[in-house]
Amino acid sequence: MSFPDDLSAAAIAVAGRLATALDALPPSRVRDAMGHALHGGKGLRGYLVLESCALHDVDRARALSAAAAIEAMHAYSLVHDDLPAMDDDAMRRGRPTVHIAYDEATAILAGDALQTLAFELCAQTGDAALTGALARAAGAQGMVLGQALDIEAETAPEPLTLDQIIHLQQGKTGALFGWSCTAGPMLAGADTAPLSAYAEALGLAFQIADDILDTEGDAATAGKRLQKDAEAGKATFVSLLGLQAAKDRAAGLISQACDALSPYGARADSLRQAARFVISRDR
């Protein structure tokens, strides 16, 4: 099976776990909005959870709960990121954003509910340490901090430096990647260092690839508005490094990520394929 097929199969499995969780909720406009937010997407974070769990022989049911948790957390972040007070986007995953499809109040509540659902799903793994790690990755020392720094950058008197952008993205994008990749060893009580190193390089490469897509991608294919950072005058990896140098930097990071998997040998080939996908994707 090819990597796109593997990724699609994982996304379907995780979507099924999320659908079961949504079906357990009472019918409401908020529940419908949660489903809207969860629809589509690559499912890459969930895939990374499942593969890191498979690498450590974690029970499939626990792995699916953790994978569904990270996809719910990621969806919440997108719903809030798209709000008028944040990035003010009208399109996500090829469809109207939640506040456009429903309304702003419903979008806020749906995001809140997706975040709490993420913790509920994570708790079902039976691992309190994993749930605590998700809170740290998603909160004010991780993703939320990165988003706050990104908002501050919009009104900063000077564009961010490369080091500042890397620090920002380590929170905004990298923290959830880090959790996804280390969920397997955390659940198995194994060493997280190799997959933590993999995740650090992968997360940064993912963001550089996003900046490249924002520069030369197709909005219809990407399913979202592009070139918004340039319009806002924000510094990006592309604006600071140049397009080709940014591509070279991303490729180097992917090589670094693959090298970090050497302790696992051929068993980690699926994660190597995931890394290469990160810089070859068109959305």
Structure confidence by residue, pLDDT tens digits, 34-82 = 999 999 999 999 999 999 999 999 999 999 999 999 999 999 999 999 9
> What's the pLDDT at 250?
96
Q: Which residues contact 272 (CB under 8 A, 6 or more apart)?
A: 258, 261
206-259 tens-digit pLDDT = 999 999 988 886 666 555 565 666 666 678 899 899 999 999 999 999 999 999
Give tens-digit pLDDT for 195-208: 999 999 999 999 99
Q: How many CA atoms lie within 13 A of 31 on its CB side?
A: 11
Q: What is the pTM of this model?
A: 0.94
In the predicted model, what is the mean pLDDT of residues 20-42?
97
Between 29-38 and 104-123, two packed helices, what is the crossing angle to 10 degrees?
70
> Lowest mean pLDDT: which of 60-64, 94-98, 177-181, 210-214?
210-214
For residues 95-107, give the mean pLDDT.
98
Predicted confidence (pLDDT) at residue 283 exceeds the cutoff of 90: no
